[in-house]
Structure 1
Amino acid sequence: MKRLGQATTAVEHQIEAALKAIPAWRSLTVGYAPVGGGISNANWRVEVEGASTAYFVKVPGQGTEMFVDRRTAHDASLKAANTGYGAPVFAFLEGLGVEVFEFMEGWKASSNRDFLQHDVRHNALRALKAFNDQPPLIQTKTVFDMIDEHQRQVAALSAPTPPDHVWLCRQFERARTALQSSGIDLKPCMNDTLAGNFMLNDQRAVRLVDFEYASNNDPHYELALWFGEMFFTPDMESALIEEYFGRVTPQTLARVAVNKALADLKWSTWAMVQRAVSQIDFDFYKYGVWKHMRARAIMHDSRWELWLRQA
């Protein structure tokens, strides 16, 4: 663990600049060490002289301002903390886009394997629903807005697109029309429900972390994205849908299915942009190609036309 003044790399100078911007810490001994796992930002464990807890500090990665509204992310972090399912928030350095949380000692990032356990799945669902049921966030951005934004970014960057880009866009527009025609109930959503954003303790309790992509959005999308990330079986999905909405209907199943395709299209397009701008050591091309393949698989499913009609 390094102390303030010992930075030798660009990312270390970034974290030191953030730590020096916190007035309460300026006269104290402060140490920092990297925390692995992020693909968009630099994450750090920070220990402060005399503090009863360590801190988790998130420093924005280059280019993330293209995707992330830091004020909305902070709003979501506070609302998640209010539910008891989020990490306590210590500070927000708005000018730097840096969030500071109490470090979650005794908690670990979950894996897809953890979600094979019934209790973990349903505890996570309750955490998501508690966040979704919070008052609206300061920003509304639906999955349609997200994909539109990424398409504009791809064009501006002259980033590569798949050979069937026009066909994928046509299916996207058909899905937009189907879902908007029946109306969308907007609620606060994480919009980033990969396994690592669910923290677990030894009692299999769940906390939610990482609200950078949060916005008011359709909760069917929230569930669809989560289901797709976890590779749940149809029976698992039905049980979770029933607990979340109180019942399972053909329309709900259709809306979740269509949103699964949109989720994969959203993140595949995001990956095209990230490949052009990010300095993070991550294979965005491979990730994007895989997401495009999954979107196609859903759109080529024999039930796709039925789902569009039922949604």
Structure 2
Amino acid sequence: MNIQSSIDKNSIKAANNLNALLCISKVFNEDIVNITDIHLMKKGMTNRSFYFQCRGKKYIMRIPGEGTDKLINRKEEASVYRAIAGKDLSDRVLYINPVNGYKITEFYRNARVCDAHNKMDVKCCLERLREFHEMKLQVEHEFDLFAQIEFYESLWQGTPSGYSDYAETKSRVFSLQQYINEYKEEYCLTHIDAVPDNFLILSDGSVKLIDWEYAAMQDPHVDIAMFAIYSLYDKDQVDSLIDIYFDGYCPKEIRIKIYCYIAVCGLLWSNWCEYKEKLGVKFCEYAYRQYQYAKDFFDIVQMNLIN
């Protein structure tokens, strides 16, 4: 019998990948027809995912999105999950494939993501982020921000940026590297993608930090910058975020360093967005705002250095 003929066609369409269903069947040692209640989740910026039910429990299957094979090292991602294993930091991962990036995680009922405009949500999530940073976990790979900017640009394959002043903006952002290096105090496992959508607040109030595919060795203060720019915060909101993380006291030099990271990370994700857009995936306002962070926060750094 043709195996596809025994599977509900709507399930295949929802999963968008027969191989994903076969993977689930193998992981759970369950007949594929017993994988039910399949529903697409909101498409993420990097991956697509769907819910499914098996043996009366609900799970999430992640399938890497367009061009992700060039953006993510799945073996490094698997090493991060080994590093955080047993630390109660992440959602429960039942399966991860270090070759194709398929991942199956437990579904948490009545959980929600962090609301970047709810101060109590932000406070509890940043406390959890700081606890993670204080563990000072180690892996063998790093996420070099400036090298990644160059790498994402190389994926354009010679086509110019959509921004006419890109070369000038890039030069200014790269000039911030000296200040960053002067005030980079520590280097440990950093999430890199610590955005509100990756903080899962459970029904008991505990917080899980999910989606560790970019995680690597870096200055942990990069995570503060990433949270801010994904949330599209203005400068006042950025300062409030920094104050929450540092419990009201952040040295001026470190605050300026985080401003530097916002400029650098803005350009980083702008370049990332330009690559994805060449694949037909558009981010519109988000992409434009990331580029503006590169320009605006370079100017903010300069003003703070003068004053």
Which TM-score band (shorter chain)?
0.7 to 0.9
Gaps of 5+ in 2: none
Compute the displacement of 1:107 (Å).
0.5
Map of 2:257 onto structure 1 = 255
TM score, norm. by length of structure 1: 0.83
Distance 1:65 1:27, change over 3 A: closer
Whole-angstrom CA distance in 2 between matches of 1:67 and 1:87: 22
Compute the displacement of 1:200 (Å).
1.7
Whole-angstrom CA distance in 2 between matches of 1:130 and 1:157: 42
Whole-angstrom CA distance in 1 between matches of 2:198 and 2:211: 6
SS class of match (1:113): coil
Structure with bigger RCO (C-alpha 8 Å, 6+ apart)? 1
Whole-angstrom CA distance in 2 between matches of 1:108 and 1:284: 23
* Among candidates 91, 98, 110, match of residue 95 of structure 2: 91
Q: Mapping of 1:148-297 within 5 angstroms?
A: 148-154=150-156, 156=157, 158=159, 160-183=161-184, 185-230=186-231, 231=233, 233=237, 236-243=240-247, 247-278=249-280, 280=281, 283-297=282-296
- Are the equivalent residues in 2 in contact too, given 1:157–1:276 (CA < 8 A)? no
Deviations 1:68-116 (A, max 9, x none): 11222233345445332310111112332111111111211233233x2
Compute the displacement of 1:204 (Å).
3.8
SS class of match (2:44): coil
SS class of match (1:33): strand
Supply the RMSD in Å over aligned alpha carbons. 2.9
Distance 1:270 1:35, change over 3 A: same
Distance 1:23 1:248, change over 3 A: closer
Whole-angstrom CA distance in 2 between matches of 1:4 and 1:248: 60
Query: 1:139 and 2:141 equivalent?
Result: yes
Deviates most, 54-63 or 25-34? 25-34
Compute the displacement of 1:267 (Å).
0.8
Whole-angstrom CA distance in 2 between matches of 1:272 and 1:202: 38
Gaps of 5+ in 1: none
- Are the equivalent residues in 2 in contact too, given 1:191–1:222 (CA < 8 A)? yes
- Are the equivalent residues in 1 in contact too, given 2:128–2:207 (CA < 8 A)? yes
Distance 1:4 1:161, change over 3 A: farther
TM score, norm. by length of structure 2: 0.84
Number of positions where the alignment pairs a residue of Structure 1 with one of Structure 2: 296
- Are the equivalent residues in 2 in contact too, given 1:83–1:130 (CA < 8 A)? no
- Are the equivalent residues in 2 in contact too, given 1:70–1:97 (CA < 8 A)? yes
Map of 2:60 onto structure 1 = 56
Q: Tell me which amino acid in the other structure corresponds to 2:132.
A: F
SS class of match (1:264): helix
SS class of match (2:175): helix
- Are the equivalent residues in 1 in contact too, given 2:200–2:207 (CA < 8 A)? yes
Compute the displacement of 1:206 (Å).
1.8
Q: Tell me which amino acid in the other structure corresponds to 2:45.
A: I
Q: Tell me which amino acid in the other structure corresponds to 2:150.
A: D
Query: 1:12 and 2:17 equivalent?
Result: yes
